[in-house]
Chains A and B, each alone.
Chain A
Amino acid sequence: DAMVIQNPRYQVTQFGKPVTLSCSQTLNHNVMYWYQQKSSQAPKLLFHYYDKDFNNEADTPDNFQSRRPNTSFCFLDIRSPGLGDAAMYLCATSRFGTGLAATNEKLFFGSGTQLSVL
């Protein structure tokens, strides 16, 4: 019955070795988000897709890329992970985005992928 599914739950990569995190949803929501959450910090929005339209946050490093091949799937690619990229990565969806009617501002989160960089 999982609605937003993230794989893997834990990911270990080496410094500089590209890594891809995946997210899928069964809700048929238009918007998918990627958040980065470091220990004891607030989740920070990296980017989001409204359908196929990609919206990058101004302060998201170029090292982070995303792909959304279809409505259900979204990927986060980290091209050259550094030690500072170790964090929990949360995928979330919403029906129409957080800028429209209040009823659509609720986000549904996946369980997250905890990334470690060695």
Chain B
Amino acid sequence: EDKVVQSPLSLVVHEGDTVTLNCSYEVTNFRSLLWYKQEKKAPTFLFMLTSSGIEKKSGRLSSILDKKELFSILNITATQTGDSAVYLCAGPDRGSTLGRLYFGRGTQLTVWP
């Protein structure tokens, strides 16, 4: 069963629009939640969230975590064509000795000029 569920799976917007990407998760002994951006290659790290209600920002991107509802959102304001990518959400599972990172299927964001 999916432990990390992202929505929507696909999103098409125009430059300048604001988008919100969603991630819900169910992992054993929650520790943190991570967001990655994947273009046509390796995922690149965006945010790590460990505390509820504290927004993390990086330029036009921001993210927040709700530990009670097991939910996170990633916001991108004033989107640009360079934001087109798959955005992956992941949560480590500490049920094992070393843990493993569960990824969601990602949201494919396409930004049109």
> Which residue of the partner chain, among A40, A42, A48, contacts B103 with CB atoms under 8 Å?
A42
Question: How extensive is the interface on chain A, given as a class?
Answer: 20 to 34
The docked-state distance in angstroms from the alpha carbon of A55 to that of B43 is 22
B42→A98 contact, CB < 8 A: no
Q: Which of A11-19, A63-71, A101-109 lies at the interface?
A: A101-109
Q: Which of A43, A55, A57, A98 has the most CB of B within 10 A?
A: A98
CA distance A4 to B43 in the complex (A): 12
State the Cβ distance, A23 to closest chain B Cβ, in Å: 11
Closest to A47 in B: B100
| Interface contact A98-B101, CB-CB below 8 Å | yes
Complex contact A105–B34 (CB within 8 A): yes
Across the interface, which residues of A come within 8 angstroms of B58, CB to CB?
none
**Which of B44-52, B60-68, B77-85 participates in binding chain A?**
B44-52
A48 to B108, CA, bound (A): 27
Known interface pairs A90-B42, A97-B98, A99-B94; A42-B105 also in contact (CB < 8 Å) = yes
Taking CB atoms, residues of chain B closer than 8 Å to A45 are 100-101
- B71-113 contacts to A (CB < 8 Å): 88, 92-94, 96-106, 108
- B43/A98 in contact, CB under 8 A: no
Give bound CA distance, A28 to B45, whole Å.
Answer: 19
State A107–B97 Cα separation when bound (angstroms): 17
Point out the residues of chain A lying under 8 angstroms from B108, CB to CB. 40
Is A50 positioned at the interface, with any CB of B under 8 Å from its CB? Answer: yes
A40 contacts which chain B residues (CB < 8 A)? 9, 105-106, 108
Bound: A101/B103 CA distance, A:
19
Instruction: Known A90-B43, A98-B101, A105-B32; judge A43-B88 contact (CB<8 A).
Output: yes
A110 interfacial contact with B, CB 8 Å: yes
Smallest CB-CB separation from A31: which chain B residue?
A: B98
Measured in the bound complex, the distance between the Cα atoms of B9 and A99 in whole Å is 28
A42 touches B32 (CB 8 A): no
Partner of B41, one of A33, A35, A112: A112
Convert A35-53 into 0s and 1s, putting 1 for each residue whose CB lies closer than 8 angstroms to a CB of B. Answer: 1000011111100101000
